[in-house]
Structure 1
């Protein structure tokens, strides 16, 4: 009864669609208009991807840090390395640039040579005064500027590592943005409309190249690159997949309808993003292109079945009805397995991945219904296929390829198993060579100017990725105690000795500078005061920047005086050194700060990102296991056979292991972008498995349970569609290799490679396993009575049902 119900259901769908064509198209137009109206809600993310859940201890500590000191990623740095900098023309242009930026409302503070303040002791008032370092009236004198340069490099160690590199002569300015606007569109407007034009104007006027970096700048230009690539991916994937479709079917009309379907699918994907109020992130930006790459194979499968049916009886109406009736459920199941591959990302407990999994799985299922309706309706309006349109069913090179596979499956199964086991062993060796990367910049476009600027600042100032250490003294005003300052100074000395970290900045630097100023600016006294000096020097220091815009003391000590902040910047070569750096800092901190009196927290964007990568790896591996489990349940429910579950899983597990092994051998690290490969590739690869087994099950019935004959028949029917769709998916995902982002390139290349392995595995290893285990798989008690019949039906069965 279930079987006839299934047949009746899809027969009903076919009749409803073909008899109500105008209504069906009207519904699709209405849905498209509704979703197009949601585009107004689409907006790009203004924050970095946080891979950790809110309740993770690393996130809790990071948020506690932000509560005390505000957004930490608000620093933009502008650097210059040019011998002509300390000349009147260049200096005047620099001062003009800095003053222009400082006047903008988005800027909280600019620290630059032209507005630099130095501490000077006022004995009469018993306090320090901030006086200008540069006299603007004398900057037209080249000799004066040379004097300023000498004094800066030799007499102001407080600013070394912050504003200059004494060894190379590089100069830079620090622009601190208003922390309230760092994660808003105002940041983008300032960078794109104010900062970039001002820098370009300076370079044009002086012929001096400036280097710009810092997290707000990097994030803005990175986001602009992502947005620009959305159109590139959509255009390229549409071009490649439609050309392949035309090459296979040689029909302009069939190609046109496939293009129309995936374009509507892309429109829907943007509409769902707006409807769900999801931001466009580095992941959701891929969804429209994924819809094209996944949608075209749907069109291929249905169009190929239509041509196969039409070739048999040359009746267009019957062929269109049989497309839905005979493969509707099988097509649904393949789309469900694809959707499962993406939907399992929701188990990651990460907002970024949950949104990606939700919107992708929703769009895949929407695309299925779009295809199952539009393709029959469209072909009902156009003439029947001509002979040249169905010649692909007997194309020589495809037939030769399929015959070669069948020959190997039939005569060389042992060799197939030997090759499979050998590849498995090699893959395991490669997997042991894999490494994990928590780098913030590794996936950024290497050829982009802003990436070259990152490398410049890493070389000149030892990094741009902020790493924060927060010290809780557990007492109000505990930071300014001399004992605490000495402990902080000892930790900073240890940090300065770590090659991957820059010179640290904290209130300790200001206190040292205060002592230097107390002794009339003598750089030999740039050190912490002793117990005799602390009373009057610290009282001077507390007033050092009280009236200055953007109080530096406030940036490194919270308002209660209980919490102190040490900021350093980290080289970001590959992110692999972060655990080593973290362990070294913790070891030193535990030794210097007694846990009963202090609490030391390591945090910062670079640290959170690295921890997020490790967390993501654990959770996505769990998601992949969950995908295997759901697929196994689906296969088990379909076929009621444990061995069939093994037959379906093994051919899809091997390609994943092969890809992981290749990543190990070619030093492609596990990172957020490459981790996604496995879930995506499994969801797509298992489609071929379901398609093959569904067809094989039907062929067993038609051929009186003759195994070999059924395998041959399966290849003659499903094998061609498997080949076509795999080729489209391979080249479709290869489009992502056009990206300038290393992560997207790796994602596209690795998914393509995995799907290629998956096609070969499903065409060779899968039927070999079926033939080897044929007796148990064909056992009537185990295999003939599935809970749910989702497979194709013979012409006789359909015609008999139609008569009834």
Structure 2
């Protein structure tokens, strides 16, 4: 292996022109695939086909009408909805909303199908017609009817009547990935049109389509706002550490080529850009820097020892080839384990980054040395002084090893204990910060009109036409009343409210008849008569299945979280099991329910991923270090940072959501990099020079301390930039990863060296000249 490393270093320098040309060709061919990448605007992308909650939702949608929605929340400046100006605006908005792309149904207080009787004739008509011509008495009557209707109150009109809603059902085509964005753009244009035509009216847009659109906006924003900041930070840190503009630009060339290759290959492989995978360019740029830094720093060290530039390049490649390969391999393994995630976007993120890191390794050992052998690079004397300071740090750690070991062990225990405070929770509204229109509109809707978390139940009767059975209707109505008594419930949509209203209308609008019919044939006749009277687009297909054997009951929750959605769904299911016949037993469904389970499912799947990553990385370390014991010793400083980061998160935040659930497996391959480089230099000194463990620790600090610090700063800075994303999944993942990397630096600089010195004599050391994969650098004095 040592002969191969020496031969490879010389070969790269000799073949530099060919390697430069070949690398550029590969990068260009790969980058061409970027043109094939598409942004996906669909909140369902976070759910795999095997997800049982998604399967339940699809079954519900196959039974009833499948739709998503745009909800216009109308806020009149006057503070009252039931006036001519506001109702005219709602009436016009309702008419125009039918023209939105893929619109299938529009519901508002103006086109609410009010029922009454004229003699023996059932009249079904819009609640509001020609609002501008209504007199005060008619406005008062409309207000009274609307605020007494269970299907409207806290759904399209609150009890205060200070705002109202216009809900548009959208049926998107399966083959149009951009449908949500186009509907959202059209809805925003319509909102501006209404606001201009009706002064004093403000519209807030929320709903499923706007969720999808926000998921599509997130990656575009991050890629355009965060990328320049990352590049500026990287350039500043690298220039300050390398003290060489050519070396800094060479590193930039490598990381850009790695990023373009990773993203281009993703395009060629048919992957899509999602809010999660949109992080890939920043993460690749961040991780790709490490290999280049180690190679360039070693090259500069060799040049200060008197080698010419080409010899220094060859020697740097010889020294770093194996550790750079190992660190790249462990990083790739960490990201590939993201394929265990229950959320497909994290599969793409892991695979894209893995391809980018692999490309970074090849560019670092082929392109970078070839370029460094051609471009004139001057050596700064500052690095020599820096190496001396790191040697002093090594001596400090050796001298204070026992108290450092004890205090850091105590810190690990205390920080890890914070994990007990962590709760699994998510809130997809708060996935987006207040710079997103969707977040502001949704919070306004929750506070003033209705909620955005919805649970749907499909309640079977057991026979065709069975929904008209009085016993069935009574049980559905009882279930609806139970839900309305729950604190977190804002609104319940039940077909029984329509049946009771029809029964009252058919009895001369006498309120004493606002109850369910006692005979099956009456209920069937009322529903049939009502459905035949409904205008086009306002049918009950989204409430009743084709053979009238089941109905859909929809529960809307107020200000809540996914954990509370999960709890409410379970309570509803248990109520059915205890109070309803077996045929009516049903699981709650809907996007809210799926989101409420995804963090739990993801953590369960990523526990397996973490174990796989741990086993593979441990085996690699033991093989490379030629020592099972040393590989075992290295595990503690590599595992502890993630646990400490989770503990700190538990103390400070308390909630773990979708993004944080993939963090442990992902970071395991990153934090091991510094350990590999430190142990590589530590063993080189022990084996080749017969130094003691304390001397080997000082040598490791002197030779690799600066690169470890620089790469850690770059990694932490890159992921910290992600923490400023307006998309919470990206922000939390960036923050947790940055925290983990900082803890890893503390462990590698203070805990690992102290542990190595304390275990002196208990770890096997190969004699000089043995067939070890790590050779001593010629700069050893």
User: Do both proteins adopt the same fold according to a TM-score greater than 0.5, normalized to the shorter chain?
Assistant: yes
Corresponding position of 2:193? 201
User: CA contact under 8 A between 1:50 and 1:609: conserved in structure 2?
Assistant: no
Q: Deviations over 1:670-702 (max 9, x none)?
A: 111122332333221110011111111111122
Distance 1:567 1:301 in 2: 59
Which of these residues, 98, 115, 118, is aligned with residue 119 of structure 1?
A: 115
Q: Deviations over 1:683-732 (max 9, x none)?
A: 21110011111111111122225322222111111122111111111112
Distance 1:465 1:636 in 2: 50
Q: Deviations over 1:63-113 (max 9, x none)?
A: 322221243533534332543644444433333222122133411011123
Distance 2:535 2:391 in 1: 78
Q: How does 1:653-672 map to 2 (within 5 A)?
A: 653-672=639-658
Corresponding position of 2:385? 394
Q: CA deviation at 1:149?
A: 4.1
Q: CA deviation at 1:349?
A: 5.3
Corresponding position of 1:577? 564
Q: How does 1:515-526 map to 2 (within 5 A)?
A: 515-523=503-511, 525-526=513-514
Corresponding position of 1:364? 357
Distance 1:182 1:541 in 2: 36
User: CA contact under 8 A between 2:627 and 2:764: conserved in structure 1?
Assistant: no
Q: CA deviation at 1:778?
A: 3.2
Q: How does 1:494-513 map to 2 (within 5 A)?
A: 494-513=482-501
Q: Flag the 1:327–1:155 CA change in 2: closer, same or farther, 3 A.
A: closer
Corresponding position of 2:99? 103
Is 1:527 the counterpart of 2:515? The answer is yes
Corresponding position of 1:493? 481
Distance 1:228 1:402 in 2: 44
Q: CA deviation at 1:142?
A: 5.5
Distance 2:51 2:733 in 1: 27
Corresponding position of 2:4? 9
Q: CA deviation at 1:336?
A: 1.0
Q: CA RMSD in A?
A: 2.6
Determine helix, strand or coil for the equivalent of 1:569. Answer: strand
Q: Deviations over 1:295-333 (max 9, x none)?
A: 222221111011011111231110011121221111111
Determine helix, strand or coil for the equivalent of 1:326. Answer: helix
Is 1:329 the counterpart of 2:322? The answer is yes
Distance 2:391 2:733 in 1: 29
Q: CA deviation at 1:594?
A: 1.9
Is 1:720 the counterpart of 2:703? The answer is no
Distance 1:685 1:671 in 2: 22
Distance 1:258 1:207 in 2: 56
Distance 1:19 1:351 in 2: 44
Is 1:442 the counterpart of 2:425? The answer is no
Distance 1:694 1:723 in 2: 16
Determine helix, strand or coil for the equivalent of 2:205. Answer: strand
Which of these residues, 551, 568, 592, is aligned with residue 579 of structure 2?
A: 592
Corresponding position of 2:206? 213
User: CA contact under 8 A between 2:303 and 2:309: conserved in structure 1?
Assistant: yes
Q: Flag the 1:60–1:537 CA change in 2: closer, same or farther, 3 A.
A: closer
User: CA contact under 8 A between 2:80 and 2:163: conserved in structure 1?
Assistant: no
Q: Deviations over 1:711-755 (max 9, x none)?
A: 211111112211111111111211112211233222222211211
Which of these residues, 30, 33, 40, is aligned with residue 28 of structure 2?
A: 33
Which of these residues, 120, 131, 148, is aligned with residue 125 of structure 2?
A: 131
Corresponding position of 1:94? 90
Determine helix, strand or coil for the equivalent of 2:110. Answer: helix
Distance 2:416 2:222 in 1: 35
Q: How does 1:401-416 map to 2 (within 5 A)?
A: 403-407=392-396, 409-416=397-404
Determine helix, strand or coil for the equivalent of 1:620. Answer: helix
Which of these residues, 767, 789, 792, is aligned with residue 775 of structure 2?
A: 792
Corresponding position of 2:660? 674
Worse-superposed segment, 614-623 or 223-232? 223-232
Determine helix, strand or coil for the equivalent of 2:367. Answer: helix
Distance 1:231 1:155 in 2: 50
Which of these residues, 613, 629, 634, is aligned with residue 627 of structure 1?
A: 613
Which of these residues, 557, 562, 566, is aligned with residue 549 of structure 2?
A: 562
User: CA contact under 8 A between 2:215 and 2:274: conserved in structure 1?
Assistant: no
Corresponding position of 2:345? 352
User: CA contact under 8 A between 1:75 and 1:175: conserved in structure 2?
Assistant: yes
Q: Flag the 1:392–1:145 CA change in 2: closer, same or farther, 3 A.
A: farther
User: CA contact under 8 A between 2:494 and 2:553: conserved in structure 1?
Assistant: yes
Is 1:59 the counterpart of 2:54? The answer is yes
Distance 2:466 2:770 in 1: 76
Is 1:166 the counterpart of 2:159? The answer is yes
Determine helix, strand or coil for the equivalent of 1:553. Answer: coil
Distance 1:42 1:421 in 2: 47
Q: CA deviation at 1:616?
A: 0.5
Corresponding position of 1:611? 597
Q: Flag the 1:7–1:584 CA change in 2: closer, same or farther, 3 A.
A: same
Distance 1:522 1:537 in 2: 17
Q: How many residues align?
A: 777
TM-score by length of 2: 0.94
User: CA contact under 8 A between 1:466 and 1:570: conserved in structure 2?
Assistant: yes
Distance 2:522 2:507 in 1: 12
User: CA contact under 8 A between 1:462 and 1:500: conserved in structure 2?
Assistant: no
Determine helix, strand or coil for the equivalent of 1:545. Answer: helix
User: CA contact under 8 A between 2:339 and 2:346: conserved in structure 1?
Assistant: yes
Corresponding position of 1:704? 690
Q: Deviations over 1:485-506 (max 9, x none)?
A: 1111111111112222222113
Which of these residues, 20, 25, 29, is aligned with residue 15 of structure 2?
A: 20
Distance 1:607 1:544 in 2: 32
Q: Flag the 1:203–1:470 CA change in 2: closer, same or farther, 3 A.
A: same
User: CA contact under 8 A between 2:305 and 2:779: conserved in structure 1?
Assistant: no
Worse-superposed segment, 248-257 or 688-697? 248-257
Q: CA deviation at 1:199?
A: 0.7
Q: Deviations over 1:178-208 (max 9, x none)?
A: 254697422211211x110111222234132
Is 1:459 the counterpart of 2:447? The answer is yes
Unaligned runs of 5+ in 2: none
User: CA contact under 8 A between 1:310 and 1:316: conserved in structure 2?
Assistant: yes
Is 1:536 the counterpart of 2:522? The answer is yes
Distance 1:282 1:535 in 2: 53
Corresponding position of 1:651? 637
User: CA contact under 8 A between 2:105 and 2:537: conserved in structure 1?
Assistant: yes
Distance 1:46 1:325 in 2: 47
Q: How does 1:207-286 map to 2 (within 5 A)?
A: 207-286=200-279
TM-score by length of 1: 0.91
User: CA contact under 8 A between 2:286 and 2:714: conserved in structure 1?
Assistant: yes
Determine helix, strand or coil for the equivalent of 2:106. Answer: strand
Distance 1:40 1:780 in 2: 52
Q: Deviations over 1:138-192 (max 9, x none)?
A: 6244536633542343454442233211235321111111254697422211211
Distance 2:468 2:319 in 1: 79
